[in-house]
Amino acid sequence: MVGKQFFINRFNKHKRFSWEESEYIGTPCWIRDIFKKEDFDEAIRAPFEDTEVWIPKNYDSILRMAYGDYMKLPPEDKRVPHHDYSAYRKVN
């Protein structure tokens, strides 16, 4: 078992640019997700289920970069999970 500091150290070992000098940002886990830093400059509140959450003002640009036309459902045969693990457990 490792703690969060393990991952912070690992991430910092591969960090190449400071936040100020970077034009793009990404997630250390999924390197394919690289976004324009400016898309995260402002946040807005948006409804989510029975509450409101903060989201980037340029959420449309971010979602299109990550998923393409995210408002269109993929064909039924392509609607499969993309995780290597179960994030839930079945309750009877």
Q: Is residue 90 part of a domain?
A: no
pLDDT of 2: 78
Amino acid code (one letter) for 91 = V
How far is residue 82's CA from residue 29's CA, in Å, rounded to a whole number? 14
Mean pLDDT, 10 residues at a time, the chain of 92 residues: 80 76 75 80 95 95 87 89 66 65
pLDDT of 52: 97
Q: Is residue 42 part of a domain?
A: yes
56 DSSP β-pair partners = 43
pTM above 0.75, yes or no: no
Three-class DSSP category at 38: helix
Residue span of the structural domain in which 48 resides? 37-74
Q: In Å, how far are 15, 61, 66, 73, 81 from 69, measured between CA atoms?
A: 31, 10, 9, 9, 18
pLDDT of 16: 72
Q: Is residue 51 part of a domain?
A: yes
Q: Is residue 63 part of a domain?
A: yes
Q: Is residue 68 part of a domain?
A: yes
> Cα dihedral sign for 48, 79, 59, 40?
positive
Q: Is residue 50 part of a domain?
A: yes
Amino acid code (one letter) for 65 = M
Q: How many domains does the chain have?
A: 1
28 contacts 14 by C-beta, under 8 angstroms: yes
pLDDT of 40: 87
